[in-house]
Amino acid sequence: MISAGEFRNGVTVEIDGNVYQIIEFQHVKPGKGAAFVRTKLKNIINSGVVEKSFRPTEKFETAHIDRREMQYLYNDGDLYNFMDTENYEQIALNGETVGDSLKFVKEIEMVKVCSYKGSVFAIEPPLFVELAITETEPGFKGDTATGASKPAIVETGAQVSVPLFVEEGNVIKIDTRTGEYLSRV
């Protein structure tokens, strides 16, 4: 059990039968009246964000999220297949559960499979990945002074905005949280 006064970013709690992760919290002590905690909560099952206020003494059940390291094997059209490298157990997840989380992940790479009470609700890709550019327009000499960028397609099929000096065949480092180009490798 955790009280609203002990809320911190990233903590997962069960409220009214739903599991929420605390994105933001703020302890408010108005000049008149009782103190309260204003929060922004993300429903981890459907990704909806809500804002709620609680009394600091309200207690909630903490929700334990299980994150298992698994290897992304392949996509067979409708299902994405993953394998636990310790016991070789395989699971298949539908595209709705996976969402956009694998757009920067190649086959045979490790990801974290997040579940709550045995029900998988999300895939966490590695924070940074290195991918080769398969398609981009050539940059022109003299265009680099403006810090301009151009679109490029990486080997997983995702589109990334890259600086003009990046060419087809280059391997680049990408932040999977934002989809931003970081550097050439």
Q: Do residues 53 and 87 share a domain?
A: no
Per-residue confidence band for 143, with pLDDT thresholds at 50, 70 and 90 = low
Displacement of CA 122 from its chain's centroid (Å): 8
- 176 burial class (0-12, 13-18, 19+ CB within 10 angstroms)? buried
Q: pLDDT digit string (tens) for 47-103?
A: 789 999 999 999 999 988 898 999 999 998 889 999 999 999 999 998 888 888 889
134 & 176 share domain: yes
* Structural domain boundaries, residue 55: 2-62
pLDDT reported for residue 129: 94
Q: Which residue has the higher pLDDT, 72 or 148?
A: 72
Domain count, the chain: 3
> What pLDDT is recorded for position 50?
93
**Average pLDDT of the chain, as a whole number:** 89
Q: Which residue has the tokens 């709690």?
A: 13
Clarify whether residues 133 and 180 are in a common domain.
yes
Q: What is the model's pLDDT at position 99?
A: 81
pLDDT in the model for residue 32: 87
Residues 132, 117 within the same domain = no
Share of the chain above pLDDT 90, in %: 52
The predicted model gives 124-134 an average pLDDT of 93
**Does the predicted TM-score (pTM) go above 0.85?**
no
For residue 144, pLDDT over 60 is answered with: no
pLDDT in the model for residue 122: 83
CATH number at residue 170: 2.40.50.140
Sign of CA dihedral 111, 61, 6, 30: positive
Mean pLDDT of 136-155: 77
Residue 182 pLDDT? 92
42, 62, 82 - which closes a domain: 62
Output phi, psi for 8, to 5 deg: -140, 155
Gyration radius from the chain CA atoms: 21
> What would the pLDDT profile of 114-123 be if each residue is shown by its tens digit?
888 888 888 8
146: confidence class by pLDDT, cuts 50, 70, 90: low
